[in-house]
Chains A and B, each alone.
Chain A
Amino acid sequence: MLAQQLTNGVLLGSTYALFALGFTLMFGVLRVVNLTYGFYFSAGAFVALFLTRNVGWPIWAALPAAAVAVGAIAVVLDWLLLARLRRINAPELSSLMVTLGAVLALYAGMTAWLGPDIRRLPAEVLGGEAMIFGPLRITNAQILVLIATGVMVTALLALMRLTPIGLALRAMAENPDAAGLMGINTGRLAALVSFICGTLAGAGGVLIGLNFNAIQPYMGEAMMLRGFVVIIIGGLGDIRGALIAGVLLGVIEVLTAGYVSSGLKEAVAFAILVVVLWTRPSGLFGRTQIRRA
């Protein structure tokens, strides 16, 4: 029982980590808290729903297609909403407010267009018997989660650590003006970061949609709470912190739901966030610099 709960928790948590990764990357490199991020999540789930249900694609093809489509949406939204603020060096809170307004308009528009009902992926998408490993029962959806997060996280870490693009991104995170002076095309890199973050959130949406089989326009809003908890526990802008904190949150949620009450899992997550803010505001791993007021 405990082993099963832990497995479920780690798999759920790796989706949270995937989701939070894009959010924290965006903050780290672009220095914006982009709240349209929750919309990318919902959009990813809906694109996958459309591709599997209306076009009849299998989920392994719909997942990357949805991720790429959402990445493109993210680039457009970033250009519409944030490029101008970056150019005039607007304060951090302006970008937060703009994206907050935009995400409300996007959710509300999506609800007006698609309806507020919970939709489900076609049954054959999830298909197949669950596999049994000793005491553990693992569904096909969970295996897809494992593969997808593994591939995406490895690819991102490799990009950041091993390529010239990664070097440029890290330079931009350090000091965007100096990076620009060194000949880095920061505008193009900002678009690239938006694209990467869009694909991460979009894929997260598909995987969570698959895991709980409930797709709904405001699903991204509930997910943002997890995103906030993960990036604050992990430290704002800290990639490795987000990975560890994401998995940790998944495990805590599953254990709370399993042994205490499923209604309390949000409250527990938030209580952890408040405790971390009081005790270790730079995150549990304490590597990010905190800008104090």
Chain B
Amino acid sequence: MPIWLDDFLWTYQNVVYALGVNGLLGLSMYVVLSVGQLSLGQAAFMGLGAYSSALLTLKLHLPFAIVLPASTIAPVLFALAIGTPTLRLSGVYLAIATIGLGEVLRAAYLNIDYVGGALGISGIPERAGVVSIYSLLILALLGFWLIGRSAIGRAMEAIREDEVAAATMGVNVARYRLGALLTSAVLAGLAGALSAHVSSFIGPNEYGFEPAVTILSYALLGGIGSPFAPVIGAWILTLLPEMLRGFADLRLVFNGVIIVLAVLYLPNGILPWTMRRRAA
């Protein structure tokens, strides 16, 4: 590796990690939005992945090859508990229950001494890196690209556009929705485990309301026309605050305003191009 590249990676290591992790989070938002639902539990799922993986590494000394897949278990269980009843109702219920989940888990992490309370968990060994993060991101992108072009992608789009018509055409709406939510929980859990194992510290306040809304802003800025759009949205919103360091306090204000403007004036995001699909 040339020295300048080595220097660059060393200096901007955290940004490089954050771009990969946030890309995964953007995708985890994308998959729920693409069946016309709104889940605000991505940050909570990520926190569950981060906490469970950190505990598995530190308390049980398991190898990362086991920890990483195991980090998806807790988010999937919570997604099942919340998703199964709410996905049968109007979309408002899932959104409300998932915002509530983030707030509850924050309070739980703060009050359970076993997971470090307000101090969080520190001293997590650095087991993940550029290779693991980006290979997962590429795999996920590839997977969504292929799914998007298949009959499954067509069914998901049909549900998003008109769920009654989709159901009439024989699409099992409830199953697709639950599948999308569980996929999103898996991705967010993996992102949480990866970020915990590159940053050595996790705390109860990292997975609350603000990151939940920020993750939504990734997908709304990019749009959900193709799986690349939310990743690019995530990258823009991760890089911008790095370049505008002086306005650090206003970063969240900016993310919030992005959402407002995107919903009111740019409902398809800044990358509205959709995937081509062969006729059935």
Question: Using a CB–CB distance below 8 Å, which chain A residues touch chain B?
Answer: 27, 33, 35, 81, 84-85, 92-94, 96-98, 100-109, 111-112, 218, 221-222, 224-225, 228-229, 232, 236, 261, 263-264, 266-267, 269-270, 273-274, 277-278, 281, 290-293
Q: In the complex the two chains form, is A281's CB within 8 Å of B263's CB?
A: no
Across the interface, B108 reaches (CB within 8 A) one of A27, A98, A267, A292, namely: A267
Contact B100 A270 (CB under 8 A): yes
Within the assembled complex, what's the spacing in Å between the Cα atoms of A236 and B255? 29
Q: Are A270 and B101 in contact (CB under 8 A)?
A: yes
A–B pairs, 9, beta carbons within 8 Å: A33-B96, A97-B220, A104-B214, A105-B256, A105-B260, A111-B249, A225-B100, A266-B103, A293-B88
- Chain B residue numbers with a CB within 8 Å of A229 are 100
**B97, A277: Cβ atoms under 8 Å?**
yes
Check: B31 CB closer than 8 A to any chain A CB: no
Contacts of A103 in B (CB 8 A): 256
Contact B97 A112 (CB under 8 A): no
B81 CB, nearest partner CB in chain A, Å: 6
Write the nearest CB–CB distance from A285 to chain B, whole angstroms.
17
Report B-chain residues with C-beta under 8 Å of the C-beta of A112.
249-250, 253
Q: A96-B95, A225-B103 given as contacts; is B257 within 8 A of A101 (CB)?
A: yes
- Chain B CB count within 10 A is highest, among A107, A273, A274, for A274
Provide the residues of chain A in CB contact with B250, threshold 8 Å: 108-109, 112
Residue of B nearest to A102 (CB): B260
| B82 proximity list for chain A (CB < 8 A) | 274, 277
> By the criterion CB–CB under 8 Å, are B85 and A281 in contact?
yes
Quick check: A101 and B252 within 8 Å, CB to CB?
no
Given contacts A264-B111, A278-B85, whether A106 and B256 have CB atoms under 8 Å apart is yes
Q: Which residues of B contact A267 (CB under 8 A)?
A: 104, 107-108
Chain B residue contacts of A232, Cβ below 8 A: 93, 96-97
Contact A97 B38 (CB under 8 A): yes
How far, in whole Å, are A89 and B103 apart by their CA atoms in the complex?
31
Q: When chains A and B are docked, how far (Å) is the Cα of A57 from the Cα of B269?
A: 48
Identify which of residues 209-268 in chain B touch chain A, using a CB-to-CB cut-off of 8 Å: 209-210, 213-214, 216-217, 220, 249-260, 262-264, 267
- Residue among A33, A84, A293 making CB contact with B163, cutoff 8 Å: A293
A92 touching B249 by the CB < 8 A rule?
A: no
Q: How far is the CA of A27 from the CA of B96 in the complex (A)?
A: 13
Least CB separation from B40: chain A residue: A100
CB proximity to A under 8 Å, residues B64-111 = 81-82, 84-93, 95-97, 99-101, 103-104, 107-108, 110-111
- The answer on a CB contact under 8 Å between A92 and B90 is yes
Nearest-Cβ distance from residue A205 to partner chain B, whole angstroms: 17
Q: How far is the CB of B241 from chain A (nearest CB, A)?
A: 12
**A85 CB contacts on chain B under 8 angstroms:** 263-264
Q: Which residue of B lies closest to A271 (CB)?
A: B104
Contacting pair A291 B89 (CB below 8 A): yes
Among A81, A108, A222, A236, the residue within 8 A (CB) of B252 is A108
Q: With the chains together, A84 CA to B261 CA distance in Å?
A: 12
Which residues of the partner chain A approach B86 to less than 8 Å between Cβ atoms?
277
In the assembled complex, which residues on chain A have CB atoms less than 8 Å from the CB atom of B264?
Answer: 81, 84-85, 98
From B96, B97, B104, B108, residue with most partner A Cβ within 10 Å: B96
B85 nearest CB across to chain A (Å): 4
B255 CB, min distance to chain A CBs, angstroms? 6
Bits for B38-64, please: 1 = Cβ < 8 Å to A, else 0.
Answer: 101000000000000000000000000
Given contacts A104-B256, A105-B256, A267-B107, contact A228 B91 (CB under 8 A): no
Which one, A92, A98, A270, A274, contacts B259 given CB within 8 A? A98
What is the bound-complex CA distance between A105 and B253, given in angstroms? 4
Contacts of B100 in A (CB 8 A): 225, 228-229, 270, 273
Say whether B85 contacts A97, CB under 8 Å.
no
Cβ 8 A contact of A291, one of B38, B90, B209, B217 = B90
Selected contact of A104 from candidates B85, B104, B110, B213, CB within 8 Å: B213
Given contacts A93-B92, A291-B89, contact A104 B103 (CB under 8 A): no
Of A261, A281, A291, A293, which one neighbours B111 at CB under 8 angstroms? A261
Task: Tell me, in angstroms, the Cα distance from A266 to B99 when the chains sit together.
Answer: 13
A59 to chain B, nearest CB (A): 29
Q: In the complex, given contacts A103-B256, A104-B259, what are 16 additional A-B residue pairs having Cβ atoms less than 8 angstroms apart?
A: A35-B99, A100-B40, A101-B220, A101-B256, A105-B260, A106-B256, A108-B252, A112-B250, A232-B97, A263-B108, A263-B110, A263-B112, A266-B103, A274-B81, A277-B97, A290-B90
